[in-house]
A and B are shown apart, each in its own frame.
Chain A
Amino acid sequence: MYRDHADFVLRVACQFGVGQAHAEDVVHDVFLVVHRRLHEYDGRSLRSWLYGITRRVVAHHHRGAARTRRREHDHAPVPRPIADPEQRAAMAGAVAIVERFVATLDEAQRTVFVLADIEGTPIPEIAEGLGLNLNTVYSRLRLARRRFEAMLVGVRSPEVRDG
């Protein structure tokens, strides 16, 4: 399970704002929880289950990180927008664009967009895993996709990009 889903957990952790350095800690913690809680897995969507665990482990991580920052008076730098075309073409650009976009989505749309369009999970499986009506999932995905396409137009448009 670790072999098959570690990258998925890493991506979800990063989408929730965990930095690469700490994301590995989150991956470790998530699979530790999985090991202990595997008997509670109900046989529905495995990725939805992992997504939920990751989300909670990240929340826990953020609380700990916030305490550390308060102690150290340290503030994480705000990511700079990507303006360089070459950088945009690079892998790092794709990571930044996608994760910045995902961060703008509300929780409902984010979950569906991540599971469906980023991870390729079938829609019925998502609906079952989240306990949602199929139409609800389609509706949320439609809205998220529309926003994603609009964001892509903005990223590729020099006028919009450069203001």
Chain B
Amino acid sequence: MAEPSDDARELLARYRSARVLETRARACVHARLVASIDGSLVPDRRRLVLTVAAVALATAAAVVLAASWWWDPSQAVATPSPRDDAAMFGHDDGTPRQTVIQPAEPPPRVAALPTADPGPATAPIDDVATSSPTPRSIDGASPPGPIPAPIPALAPATRGPDRVLAQELALVRAARLALDVGDAAAALEHLATHSSRFAEGQLAEERDSVRVEALCAAGKGAQARAEAQLFVRRWPDSTHAARMARACPR
């Protein structure tokens, strides 16, 4: 295939150097981004806590219902079939429906949580990205697909810096998931693996911020605060800097 002419290359190079964010605009957009991200963290955390609370309530309600059935003499005559179980617990797989837990003091926003947005200004943008985050559909050459497959399945097919990023992402994501389910030790292990393999990786900043949270969750408050200070010094412009500054209070 014919390469672009020298004129074309020169013009495109000039274009690339001309169409950039100026220093001031770059800093300004970054500051707005930090504020937006920082502002959206609290609702995310609250959403997680409320979701966990809803699951706990549902489990408790199921246990109470099961126990009351078990000790009810009128039910002891016949052994219930799986279908009876389904009818009692609300659906076929034996787990309680949301309606079962409603009387058991449900949090007022639980029903709306899965679709709740952190803020009205950003919600439509999220929707835009959710429809399909890759540009594959614009060519019509590939059918529009669901959310991309998990990283581990696709990582072998990737190459170069993006493959490395995928590996980094898998480790940081695993740490975040472990932390979200309360396994701080596992989170720290994933982060240590990331640190040894990608000391200066693209997600080093993210890794260090999650590590502060994991240390705090593991009860190592002093170390968490010390590393939080280091984080702010190392990444003063980070989107996590404000959160780190107030991480793990005494």
Contact = CB atoms under 8 A, between A and B. Distances in A.
Chain A contact patch, size range: 35 or more
Contacts of A130: 134-136, 139, 141-142
A35 B141 contact: no
Q: Is the interface of A mostly helix, strand, loop or mixed?
A: helix
B15 A98 contact: yes
B127 to A, nearest CB: 8
Q: Report which residue of B122, B158, B161 has the largest number of chain A beta carbons within 10 angstroms of its beta carbon.
A: B158
Contacts of A148: 4, 8
Interface stretch (B89-97, B106-114, B144-152, B189-197): B144-152
B46 to A, nearest CB: 16
Contacts of A29: 122, 125
B1 A141 contact: yes
Contacts of B72: none
Interface residues of B, number: 62
Interface stretch (A70-78, A79-87, A89-97): A89-97
B212 to A, nearest CB: 18
B246 interface: no
Contact of B4 (A31, A32, A51, A117): A117
A103 interface: no
Given A2-B33, A10-B19, A43-B155, A53 B133 contact: yes
B173 interface: yes
B162 A45 contact: yes
Interface string A35-75: 11111111111101101110111011000000000000000
A107 interface: yes
Contact of A48 (B16, B20, B40, B135): B135
A1 B151 contact: no
Q: Report which residue of A51, A60, A107, A131 has the largest number of chain B beta carbons within 10 angstroms of its beta carbon.
A: A131
B77 interface: no
Contacts of B131: 56
A145 interface: yes
Interface string A14-47: 1000000000100111011101111111111110
Interface stretch (B22-30, B58-66, B223-231): B22-30
B76 interface: no
B32 interface: yes
B25 A24 contact: yes
B14 interface: yes
Q: Report which residue of B25, B124, B125, B141 has the largest number of chain A beta carbons within 10 angstroms of its beta carbon.
A: B125
B128 A46 contact: no
A32 B4 CA distance: 35
A32 B7 CA distance: 37
B162 A44 contact: yes
Contact of A37 (B21, B129, B160, B162): B129
Nearest to B5: A149
Interface of A: 1-2, 6-7, 10-11, 14, 24, 27-29, 31-33, 35-46, 48-49, 51-53, 55-57, 59-60, 91-92, 94-95, 97-99, 107-108, 111, 117-119, 124-125, 128-132, 136, 138, 141-142, 145, 148-149, 152, 156
23 contacts: A24-B25, A29-B122, A31-B33, A32-B40, A33-B126, A33-B128, A36-B40, A40-B133, A41-B166, A42-B154, A43-B162, A49-B133, A52-B133, A55-B138, A94-B18, A98-B11, A129-B134, A130-B142, A132-B142, A142-B1, A149-B5, A152-B5, A152-B11
Given A41-B169, A44-B162, A131-B141, 8 more contacts: A10-B19, A33-B128, A43-B166, A53-B129, A130-B135, A132-B141, A141-B1, A148-B8
